[in-house]
Amino acid sequence: MTITRRNVLLGATAAAALAPIAGRAQAPEVVIGVTYPLSGSNAQIGVDAQHAYGAAADVINSKYDFDLPLAKGVGLPGLGGAKVRLVFADHQGDPQKGRAEAERLITQEKVCAVIGTYQSSVAVTVSQICERYQVPFISADNSSPSLHRRGLKFYFRPAAHDEMFSAAMFDFFDALKKKGTKIETLSLFHEDTIFGTDSGNAQLKLAKERGYKIVADIKYRSNSPSLSAEVQQLKAANADVLMPSSYTTDGILLVKTMAELGYKPKAIVAQDAGFSEKALYDAVGDKLEGVISRGSFSLDLAKKRPVVGTINTMYKAKSGKDFNDLTSRQFMGLIVMADAINRAKSTDGEKIRAALAATDMPGEQTIMPWKRVKFDDMGQNNDADPVLLQYVGGKFVTVFPAQAAIAEALWPMK
């Protein structure tokens, strides 16, 4: 879907005319706001997100023979078959723009819930606005651990956060060490917004607890025009593992600069973000054979759960890409929200919040390798089991944990 001014105006007019009345037994539509960067350096993230949410809305609004919530009927039976309509808003990667767009979605578009946002820094402001208006917010793909610890009642995150993801990385290191692999030193490399800062802090804490030595801990300016000085520090440290927490454009610059300066790490284990994005591998994939990234999603799961492959095919028809760590979480974000709205039988914010808090969705009814979706009293799902994926031969394969892996990890990198 291409966002144009005409589409936005038409969407606003339709929303004003058709937005459901809170608590009404039957509604022509259930309007949900979705906010992502649709312009700027991360615009492709927003485009991919639109396709992911579009695929989820199709599953909800149409009839399919899938073992996923709401797939087997048409629309939301709890609201008389009402269909979900999505209103997209462009926050441009700017937290203050995110704040304004969230308020617009709620006050002008009359959405009953909001989902987003890719950047954790934007999730901070969007969730604050949702809390003020008592509108449920699902943090679909934000991984900063601090987000769910702010005492918000309307904040929910179905996927893992970076402390959980980082713990999986260190579990992986421990498992390799038990097999005789030498892993003693680590270099941390993280951008300076809440995502990178929280990720770096989590990894510092785990390294201390698990007995690994941090030989470089580099925080760099997000969207920096040059990373030469930082890469020189990484090269000098020469750690056993480089652990970057970077968005796509920074990740591409990092890898290009490493090549220019002749820095070849023994291994890279990345905190997802840019290192899960096709754009990064299109640009510098030839230099990343064997890179490992943490993730929420494993396409390999389709071998055990065919619905994963079926849904991936639907998404690929819209986007030309396979699901990745971000788009799979986005898809599930809308499924979880719609399931709660359906059980609430209402578009009232407090009733939806109560239904989200009562969610208990078995992992087999998702497209993820999770035990289940069940939120704690801070809105975090602690059963969203991470996986580690390795880029081999132009695709990702699951290498950890053992119960999800289809291949042994190649170590060191080629």
Q: Give pLDDT tens digits for 150-178.
A: 999 999 999 999 899 999 999 999 999 99
Alpha-carbon distance 343 to 354, whole Å? 10
Q: Is the dihedral of CA 302, 343, 70, 122 positive or negative?
A: negative
Q: Tell me how far CA of residue 359 lies from CA of 52, 134, 355, in angstroms.
A: 22, 18, 6
pLDDT at 23 over 70: no
Is 28's pLDDT higher than 90? no
> Which alpha helices (H) appear in 261-321, and where do they start and end?
278-284, 306-319
Q: Is the torsion defined by CA of 356, 96, 6, 44 positive or negative?
A: negative
pLDDT at 18 over 80: no
Q: pLDDT tens-digit profile of 211-242?
A: 999 999 999 998 899 999 999 999 999 999 99
Q: 237 and 216 in contact (C-beta within 8 Å)?
A: yes
- Assess whether pLDDT exceeds 70 at residue 280: yes
Residue 323, pLDDT score: 93
Helix axis angle for 349-357 and 325-344, nearest 10°, is 110
Is the pLDDT at 358 greater than 80? The verdict is yes
Q: Considering the domain 162-295+387-400, what is its CATH architecture?
A: 3-Layer(aba) Sandwich (3.40)
Provide the percentage of residues in the chain whose pLDDT is more than 70. 93
Q: Give span(s): CATH 3.40.50.2300, the chain.
A: 5-160+302-373, 162-295+387-400
pLDDT band at 41 (very low <50, low <70, confident <90, very high): confident
- Label residue 14 by pLDDT band (50, 70, 90): very low
- Is residue 37's pLDDT more than 80? yes
Query: For residue 24, is pLDDT > 70?
Result: no
- Res. 25: pLDDT tops 50: no
- For 113-161, write each residue's pLDDT tens digit: 999 999 999 999 999 999 999 999 999 999 899 999 999 999 999 999 9
Over the chain, what is the mean pLDDT?
A: 91
**Residue 314, both tokens:** 């639907």
H or E stretch covering 12: helix 5-18
Give 188's pLDDT tier (boundaries 50, 70, 90): very high
- Rounded distance, CA 103 to CA 58, Å? 26
Sheet holding 113-116, edge to edge: 83-90, 29-36, 113-116, 137-139, 155-156
Q: How far apart are CA 67 and CA 383, in angstroms?
A: 20
Instruction: Supply the pLDDT for residue 380.
Output: 98
- Residue 26's pLDDT is 45
The band of 6, judged by pLDDT with boundaries at 50, 70 and 90, is: very low
pLDDT at site 208: 96
Nearest to residue 122, comparing CAs of 145, 107, 144? 144
- CATH 3.40.50.2300, applies to 5-160+302-373: yes
